[in-house]
Amino acid sequence: MSLSWRDVNAIYQIYPRSFMDANNDGVGDIRGVIDRLDYIKGQKDSLDIDAIWFSPIFPSPMADMGYDVSDYCDIDPLFGTLDDFKELIEKAHARNINVMIDFVPNHTSDQHEWFKESRKSRKGPYAEYYTWRDPAPGGGPPNNWLSIFGGSAWEYDDGRNQYYLHTFLAAQPDLNWDNPMVRDEMKRVVRFWLDLGIDGIRADAVRWLSKDPKFRNDPLTEIVRKAMDGTEGEYNHYIHKYSRFWKNLFPYLRELTDVVAEYDNRIMIFEDYPDANYSTKEQYLGFYGVNPKVAMPFNFEGVWTDFYADAFRTFITEFQGMLDPDEHTPVYCFGNHDQSRLVSRMGGDEQARLMALLLLSLPGLPTVYYGDELGMPNTPVKQEDIQDLRAFTSGDIDSTRDPERTPMQWQTGQYAGFSKAKPWLPLGESVRHHNVETQQHEADSFLSLYRRLLRMRSRYEILRTGTYEAIGELEADVFSYARWLGDQHIYVALNFGRLDNTVKLPHKGRILCCTHPVDYPEIAEDGTIMLRPFEGVIVECSEHPLKKDLDE
Ligand code: GLC
């Protein structure tokens, strides 16, 4: 059975190439996930997370590791078969785990049948499935739009003597969403997977579904910013005013999500990194406005927020302030397959533990990236072992996303229990401590912390759906907030500092969890708690934490 999304404690992102390799070819597969469902939920030792989403598992030449889909309605043999996937859904549902897939609506692989047909001729049923333009009057690309992965977004094709648009790799031509036939195809795909029984969909790179139909040049920006998604370089010299986020984006997403709304208890989560050229409010409320009951955007701000109490407090409080708690579900995401690992980004294990406590005590549907629950850091990948093509096309070898995509670390020993064959990406030194077997029974391990937080989040509805409010003035390095639901109240205090810091509980309470679940700080008679460096606590209050302020 599926769980009601309101009851889901969090979503676990599985990068299928790297989770578990059952057929020992060095690449993870669906059967591997089936074999490890006990790890996810249902046993005494399980992580106990209620939903899983998979990065793409569809047939693909793997130029962008599956984000170049050549058939939307099947499974790549590397990962198994459609029957394997059906079995996975069935077995996951038997454990009350919801299953989500990744849907890539903006582009296909250049090996997709539609594209093969489309590039053959300017006539025919698939001619307008992609964005084709004649060369500029003097020759060359039709305009100055750039690919995020480097160079022009246009690729010349001899067959049609025209250019096609590709926002990502040249092997990922952009679909033409202005063509109603393409939109119908996409709705059919969504229906196919929903009929198969999946509970949700993560929709990839949606910002690019609508572009300026006049194909005007993007203007140069005066201030070169590092993009929110971490990309740098020439791409950020432009304001992407015409090449993305155009006027039909929300209507198109509405059409797509209306299909989701036909089914009971299904959701769609949009991948969208805020664009510095628009206000976050405009963007978030735009995405929430699409189909609020079934669709919501990720909030990725935690990915590029520096490790300071005031920085986290500001973004979370502003974001929560925009939302209507009865209508909008926040989806906080602090890490994924495109971002440096949490431990490496935040500065170390202790900081990452604090992030776990923060993430899992915020409202909505937080997402946990596989391996973060073990505190896996980035794994160094030698230049000759790099698999991520973006590292080459962008001209910046350091932009490789491989270090955060390395195999799940199940145990010590050869290939960390992931496979019997040499894995597609290397394993690093961190296997010694950051592995499931070692952490499984250590009361103070990362895994124990995540497990405890997840179980608490299942038990305490207030943590999932309760209201959020930042408490008091920002003092020193501590970020505190209250959550409440009816007459239940929870208080969270997070010390982002390298020194001890004291907080005073507004009311009496008892600690439910802290960053080191074996070593709780004391609550003094007068309600003060001394937080050690990078320590965080979740406190169940016996009175409303804000009541005092309200009474005064
Ligand atoms: C998304 C994916 C990323 C992929 C890109 C193109 O950002 O998360 O991995 O490369 O879209 O599909």
Which CATH number covers residue 83? Answer: 3.20.20.80
The whole-angstrom separation of Cα 236 and Cα 227 is 6
Mean pLDDT of the chain: 95
Query: Is 204 assigned a catalytic role?
Result: yes
At residue 264, the 3 state secondary structure works out as coil
| Helical axes 309-322 vs 280-290, angle rounded to 10° | 40
* The token pair that represents 371 in the structure block: 């391996």
Ligand 1 atom with minimal separation from the 67 CA: 12
**Could you read off the pLDDT of 301-342 as tens digits, one per residue?**
999 999 999 999 999 999 999 999 999 999 999 999 999 999
- Is position 419 within any domain? yes
Q: What is the crossing angle of helices 280-290 and 249-261, to 10°?
A: 40
Residue 547: the pLDDT is: 53
Give residue 16's identity as a one-letter amino acid code. Answer: P
Please indicate, yes or no, whether residues 40 and 99 belong to a single structural domain of this protein: yes
Atom from ligand 1 closest to the CA of residue 104: 12
Of the residues 64, 155, 199, 204, which is catalytic? 204
| Among 11-20, 30-39, 233-242, 249-258, the least confident range | 233-242
Report which residue type is found at 147.
Answer: S
Percentage with pLDDT > 70 across the chain? 96
Lowest mean pLDDT among 224-238, 249-263, 362-376, 483-497: 224-238
Least confident of 101-110, 286-295, 476-485: 476-485
Q: Which of 18, 68, 166, 168 to mutate to test the pocket of ligand 1 (most atoms within 8 A of CB)?
A: 168
Judged by DSSP in three states, 489 sits in: strand
Cβ proximity of 209 and 106 under 8 Å: yes
**Does some domain include residue 253?**
no
Please say whether the beta carbons of 536 and 354 come within 8 A: yes
Q: Using CB atoms within 10 A of its CB, is residue 499 exposed (0-12), middle (13-18) or buried (19+)?
A: exposed
Region 66-73 average pLDDT: 98
Helices marked H in 291-443: 301-304, 309-322, 342-346, 349-359, 390-393, 436-440
Specify whether the CB–CB gap between 515 and 449 falls below 8 A. Answer: yes
User: What single-letter amino acid sits at 368?
Assistant: V
Residues 326, 348 share a domain: yes
Output the pLDDT for position 546. Answer: 54
Q: Assign 3-class secondary structure to 144-213.
A: CCECCCCCECEEEECCCCEEEECCCCCCCCEECCCCHHHHHHHHHHHHHHHHHCCCEEEECCHHHHCCCC
- Could you give the strand order of the β-sheet that contains 132-133, starting from the edge strand earlier in sequence? 132-133, 162-165, 154-157
The stretch 116-128 carries a mean pLDDT of 97
The dihedrals phi and psi of 385, each to the nearest 5 degrees, come to: -100, 0
Angle at 395 between CA 371 and CA 137, to 5 degrees: 125
The CATH number that applies at residue 121 is: 3.90.400.10
- pLDDT of 233 reads 75
Q: Are residues 19 and 68 in the same domain?
A: yes
pLDDT class of 1 with cuts at 50, 70, 90: confident
Q: Residue 498: give its domain's CATH number.
A: 2.60.40.1180
Whether residue 258 lies inside any domain: the answer is no
**What is the C-alpha to C-alpha distance for residues 233 and 149, in angstroms, rounded to an integer?**
10
CB burial of residue 215 (10 Å; 0-12, 13-18, 19+): middle
Closest approach atom of ligand 1 to CA 168: 6
296 shares its domain with 230: no
Residue 64 alpha carbon, nearest atom of ligand 1: 10
Q: For a pocket test of ligand 1, which of 17, 64, 101, 206 has the largest count of ligand atoms closer than 8 A to its C-beta?
A: 64
CA 55 from chain centre, in angstroms, equals: 10
Per-residue pLDDT averaged across 387-406, rounded?
95
Going by C-alpha positions, the residue among 338, 318, 365 that lies closest to residue 227 is: 338
CA 470 to CA 491: how far, in whole Å?
A: 10
Per-residue pLDDT band at 494 (split at 50, 70, 90): very high
- Please answer whether residues 18 and 418 qualify as being in contact, where contact means their C-beta atoms are separated by less than 8 angstroms: yes
The range of the structural domain enclosing residue 483 comes to 466-541
Question: Ligand 1: residues within 6 Å at CB?
Answer: 64, 67, 104, 168, 204-205, 271, 337-338
Residue type, position 165, single letter: L
- Retrieve residue 171's tokens: 């092997």
Interval between CA 137 and ligand 1 midpoint (Å)? 33
Residue 256 lies in a domain: no
pLDDT at 228 over 90: no
pLDDT at 552: 43
Contact in structure between 416 and 408 (CB atoms under 8 Å): yes
Task: Give, rounded to a whole angstrom, the gap between the first and last alpha carbons of the chain.
Answer: 48
Query: What average pLDDT does range 375-391 have in this prediction?
Result: 97
Out of 86-95, 107-116, 361-370, 469-478, least confident range:
469-478
Number of structural domains the chain divides into: 3
* Domain end (from 412, 431, 455): 455
Give the mean pLDDT of 536-541: 96
Q: Of 211-225, 343-357, 413-427, 481-495, which gets the smallest average pLDDT? A: 211-225
Q: Is the pLDDT of residue 384 over 70?
A: yes
- One domain for residues 84 and 152: no
pLDDT (tens digit, 9 = 90+) per residue, 186-225?
A: 999 999 999 999 999 999 999 999 999 999 999 988 766 5
Whether residue 299 lies inside any domain: the answer is yes
- DSSP-assigned beta bridge partners for residue 470: 481
Integer Cα distance of 536 and 115 in angstroms: 52
Q: At which of 455, 487, 520 does a domain end?
A: 455
Instruction: Return the residue whose CA atom lies nearest to atom 11 of ligand 1.
Output: 205
Full DSSP string of 83-101: HHHHHHHHHHHHTT-EEEE
- Of 417, 432, 455, the position where a domain reaches its end is 455
Backbone angles phi, psi at 93, to 5 degrees: -65, -35
416: in domain:
yes
| Ligand 1 center to 464 CA (angstroms) | 28
Question: Do 71 and 152 lie in a common domain?
Answer: no
Within this chain, do residues 411 and 513 fall inside the same structural domain, yes or no?
no
8 A C-beta contact, residue 166 and residue 232: no
- Kindly report the pTM of this predicted structure: 0.96
Q: Are 158 and 60 in contact (CB under 8 A)?
A: no
Residue 259 lies in a domain: no
Beta-bridge partner residues of 11: 51, 367
Torsional sign, CA 28, 369, 232, 382: negative
* Cα separation, 10 vs 366, whole angstroms: 5
Give residue-wise pLDDT tens across range 25-58. 999 999 999 999 999 999 999 999 999 999 999 9
Residues 170 and 297 in one domain: no
Structure tokens belonging to residue 66: 């599956």
Q: Which residues pair with 270 in a beta bridge?
A: 203, 297
Give percent above pLDDT 90 in the chain: 90
Same domain for 97 and 158, yes or no, is no
Strand 162-165 relative to strand 478-485: parallel, antiparallel, unpaired?
A: unpaired
Catalytically annotated residue among 50, 110, 157, 271: 271
Q: Whose CA is nearest to atom 9 of ligand 1?
A: 338
Checking if the pLDDT of 548 tops 70, the result is: no
Q: Are residues 383 and 290 in the same domain?
A: yes
Question: For residue 549, is pLDDT > 90?
Answer: no
Backbone angles phi, psi at 530, to 5 degrees: -95, 115
Structure-token pair, residue 517: 């679940």
Q: What is the pLDDT of residues 74-94, one digit of tens each?
A: 999 999 999 999 999 999 999
- Asked whether residue 104 is assigned to any structural domain, the reply reads yes
Do 69 and 119 share a structural domain?
no
Known catalytic membership, residue 388: no
User: Which of 196, 181, 231 lies closest to 90, judged by CA?
Assistant: 196
Q: Are residues 235 and 201 in the same domain?
A: no
pLDDT at 225: 56
Does residue 227 have a pLDDT over 60?
Answer: no
**Mean pLDDT to the nearest integer, 427-431:** 96
